[in-house]
Structure 1
Amino acid sequence: MLGVGGSACTDGGAGMLAALGARLLADAGRPLPPGGGGLVELAEVDLSGLDPRLADADIVLASDVDNPLLGERGAAHVYGPQKGADPTQVRLLDAALRSWSGAVTRAGGREAADEPGAGAAGGVGYAALAVLGARQRPGADLVLELVGFDAALPGAGLVLTGEGSVDEQTLHGKGPAAVAARAAAAGVPAIAVAGRCSLAPERLRDAGFADVFALTDVEPDPQRCIREAADLLPQLARHIAAKWLV
């Protein structure tokens, strides 16, 4: 079971495969340095040295996002800025990932750049799907099954879920969206508690959320929300209770 989520790298899983025995070469057989930026110089991928035990391994890719590897919804554009990449670096990293996926395909890997979850963890999901033969499963659904979430829903009057920021990424495989969808299907209202929310009400309703309460509703200053979250949460709880429990 390979659980992939956030990552400080945007290398398409190249580092993972190198650690497992793959060779990444530039022109004239020069080895590439680690990291995503160097992949723009990639000339060849040699998968012949991969650990032979991988051939008999059944690998499940448990991902909390469904983004592809490339493009505007890909690893570089969506997650690169979160890790500090500026617009120029994002374009460089996306081009590097495109070069990487082409080289992997030429080396015998499966074409998986467009598959859901390929962009997870800076593209580690792509390497798992294209080279390791992994089967992708939404990580949130897997966890909800393991904890018996569906069995706990009957008789519930309200479901509370949440994360730091409820935004477009929430709707692409994150845990709160999975909780809301399952709760809505069972006829139980689901409320998200968040630091902030940037989704329009209709987007929230379509995703199954009955309501969202954010710290920024009671304190407009985001920095204070971060510093004083523990003090602000009781105020938010009173708003939830007044609207949904009284």
Structure 2
Amino acid sequence: MLSRSQQNDVPETLARSTAAVLCDLDGTLLNTEEAWRQTVIESIEAMGFVASERVVSAAEGATLEQTAALLTRELSLVDAADVVLHALETRALARLRTNTGWLPGARELLVSLDHVDVPIALVTSSPRRWVDAIAKNHDLSVFEVVITADDVVNTKPHPEPYAAAAAALGVDPERCVVFEDSRPGLNAALAAGCRTVLVRTGTAPWSEGADAVVQSLTGVTAAWIAERFGLSAPTSARRSPSTRRTRRP
């Protein structure tokens, strides 16, 4: 934790200390992005098309519904979008149940935040049934709030998911730090008024809006957040894992 004098050295634009952390799931905490990418490629090829990099990349960070609409439009499919959606979901769920794991540093980040009692929310464009499937193999109990595509009217890049997470935690969005890996997610967080950390290997021209960019979550902890953004001290007694309950909006 930074001392008061150290916090005064934080740049003015980042001077308001962090009161909560909001995390994307796919590609940020879990290595589901490759599973999703392969799902899109296999689905396109199963329909008799060649999966172009342009179309596959456009599905990055998109919801299931957005991807089904994308493929239906880009491939001029005869099948309705709901048929494509079902095919995508069948493949995706099969992969998510077996081919996912925590990305480097992700668990350590969550544990460090939990240790100092910083509220954490999970904000994902995946439907809740996907999150429930993932939770069977990965402990998500550290999240006090889980916002999925089923919980909002507008998904990323709209600010609603992150605004809803901040509201559910009772925290001003400006005092939230968001960890994201995709352009839609970054835009959603920025539009909601949150401070942002982009977790992405390599560079992207659209990453300039992020407050910080890291190649991975390795070494990113509560102390790392405190050093860069300030971190509020706990205002209540710590809650044990047995008393924490994940809240839905």
Range class of TM-score, shorter chain = 0.3 to 0.5
Say which one has the larger Rg: 1
Query: Which of 1 and 2 has higher RCO (CA within 8 Å, sep 6+)?
Result: 2
Q: Normalized against structure 2, the TM-score is what?
A: 0.32
Q: Name the one with the larger strand percent.
A: 1
Query: Structure 1 length normalisation: TM-score?
Result: 0.32
